[in-house]
Amino acid sequence: MSADPSTGSPLSAVTVVFVTYNSGAVIGRAVASVPAPCPVVIVDNASPEGTAWRAGLSRPVDLVEMQANAGFGTACNAGARRAATPYVLFLNPDAVLDAETLPTLLAAAGRYGDPAILMPAIVGENGRLMRKEGSILEQVPRRLRLSPDEIAGDYCTRFVHGAAFMMARDAFFTLGGFDEAIFLYHEDDDLSLRAIARRIPIIVVPAARVTHAGGRSSAPSFSQTFKVNRAKMQSERYVLEKYGRSRSTFPQIAKLAGGCVLALACLDLHRFAIRTGKMAGCFDELRRTPPAHV
C-alpha cells in the first residue's frame, strides 16, 4: 500500500467514488464521512436537479458530470478511471462511513493481499445488518443462512453488496470493471461471478462498518418506480441470459399482467407501477441482442 507523499497518510491510498442521481439531499452527509486524506470523486449521472449541491459540501471533490444517465456501472467505471490511487472504494450517496471503516479495510488489504474485494458490514439506520446472502443467480434457502451470532471475524462470501466495497484499482480494471451493458441492478452480481471465476476472494470485514439509508437517492414517484423496475427487469434478464440461466419470457409477462389487473382492482398504483415497469423490461429484452454467455 502506498500513500500520497504530500499527506503522508495511508488513507490517501484510497479514492472514494460516489455515483449521484438526484442525490443532493443525501450526498453532503456521505461526503462529510470520508476522512480528509482520501480523495473523493463524484460522478453525477446527468441529474435533472443539477449539481448545485456541490457548493454546500464540506470538502473539495472531483466532480465528473456525465452528459446523459449512462447507468450505475458505467458511472462507477468513469469514477474509477478518474481516480489516481492504488485503491477505490465505491460508496452509495446515501451511505455513511464510520470513522474507522477505511483504516480497517486498508489493514485488511494488507493482511489478505491483492487482488481481493473487501466489504464492510453494511447496517441500516435502525442498526440492522444488511447482509447479501445470494442473488437471482444463486438463491440461498433461508434455512441455510447463518445468523450474525454464528459468524466471528472476517469471512468470505460469494456476492458483493454494491452499496460499499473496496478493491485495488488495477485489479478492478483487470477484471473488466462493471459490465456497462447493465444499466441498473445486478451489476454487482455480475462482477462477483467474474471475480470468483478468477479466484478473487470477496471478503467481508465486519469491524469496518457503513450505515446505509437505502433508496433515498431518488425521490419516489409513479414514473420513477416504473423506470426503476423496468431497468431492474432488463438487468435481471440480461444477467441470467449471460450466465446461461435465462427464463421463459411469455409466462413471466402473463404473471405480471395478472398482477397489474389485481393492483388496479385494489387501486394500488405503486404495485401497478412496479408490475408495468417489469413488463416493459421483459418486452425490452425481447428486442435486445442476446449477450455472449460466460
Predicted structure pTM score: 0.88
> What pLDDT is stored for residue 286 in this prediction?
78
> What pLDDT is stored for residue 274 in this prediction?
92
The yes-or-no verdict on residue 294 having pLDDT over 50 is: no
The single-letter DSSP state of residue 121 is E
The single-letter DSSP state of residue 52 is G
pLDDT tens digits along 219-228: 568 888 999 8
Q: Find the mean pLDDT for residues 97-111.
A: 97
**Among 52-66, 100-114, 221-235, which stretch is predicted with the lowest mean pLDDT?**
221-235
Q: How far apart are CA 157 and CA 119, in angstroms?
A: 10
Q: Find the mean pLDDT for residues 115-123.
A: 96
The yes-or-no verdict on residue 149 having pLDDT over 70 is: no
Where do the domains of the chain lie?
10-212, 222-287
Cα 148 → chain centroid: 22
Residue percentage of the chain with pLDDT more than 90: 66
The single-letter DSSP state of residue 28 is H
Q: How far apart are CA 24 and CA 272, in angstroms?
A: 28
Q: How far apart are CA 54 and CA 26, in angstroms?
A: 12
The yes-or-no verdict on residue 176 having pLDDT over 70 is: yes
pLDDT tens digits along 178-190: 999 999 999 999 9
Fold of 10-212: Spore Coat Polysaccharide Biosynthesis Protein SpsA; Chain A (3.90.550)
Q: Find the mean pLDDT for residues 92-103.
A: 97
The yes-or-no verdict on residue 293 having pLDDT over 80 is: no
The yes-or-no verdict on residue 7 having pLDDT over 80 is: no
The yes-or-no verdict on residue 65 having pLDDT over 60 is: yes
Q: How far apart are CA 260 and CA 279, in angstroms?
A: 9
Residues in the chain: 294
Q: Where are the beta strands (DSSP E) in the chain?
A: 14-20, 40-44, 62-65, 87-91, 95-97, 117-123, 155-157, 164-168, 202-212
> What pLDDT is stored for residue 126 in this prediction?
85
The yes-or-no verdict on residue 128 having pLDDT over 90 is: no
Which pLDDT band, with edges at 50, 70 and 90, does 6 fall under?
Answer: low
Which pLDDT band, with edges at 50, 70 and 90, does 217 fall under?
Answer: very low
**C-alpha cell of 136?**
437471482
